Amino acid sequence: MKNRMISGLGAVVMGSLIAFGPQFFFEICKPMANGRWMKCHWTGQAEIGVGLLIVALGVLLLLFSSEKVRLGLSLSLAFTGGLALAFPHALIGGCEMATMPCRKVAFPSLTVIGVLTVVGFAVNAFYLHRKRPMQVPMQVPMQIPMKARQS
């Protein structure tokens, strides 16, 4: 129950930050003087989708008690966190000048949240995998030496 609540709420918080952070808290760059959006804007739009997906997976994590289902959800959350990292760093990118607001605050914040999501849910998946009913060896009957048995 404790794991379910912590991991589920954690995913909802992380997903919300990924989705809405670039829009409200650590803002990406404003449009240029000619009204055109820069690349980072589209990264912010893509992160809304990924963030909401993480929120949805987090809600499912809260709803399901089966450890096998939660193991699968945790794995998918770890991979989705990787996708949240890939948008600013590989798939779309942002402004190339390091002093621009997107590169200064928004992308580093997404990096921190993305890495925490990947690592956190990979660890949770490992924990749930290890927690699954252990193969406790049956009590081994005492081995009585053959000679003693014969006598």
Q: Which residues bind another protein (CB under 8 A)?
A: 29-30, 32-33, 38, 95-100, 103-105, 107-108, 111-112, 115-116, 137
CB of residue 88 vs another protein: minimum separation in angstroms?
10
CB of residue 63 vs another protein: minimum separation in angstroms?
26
Nearer to another protein, 13 or 115 (CB): 115
If one counts every other C-beta atom within 10 angstroms of the C-beta of residue 72, the result is 16
CB of residue 31 vs another protein: minimum separation in angstroms?
8
Nearer to another protein, 45 or 111 (CB): 111
Query: Which pairs from 103-106 meet CB under 8 Å and 24+ separation?
Result: 103/40, 105/26, 105/27, 106/21, 106/22, 106/26, 106/27, 106/28, 106/40, 106/44
Nearer to another protein, 3 or 52 (CB): 3
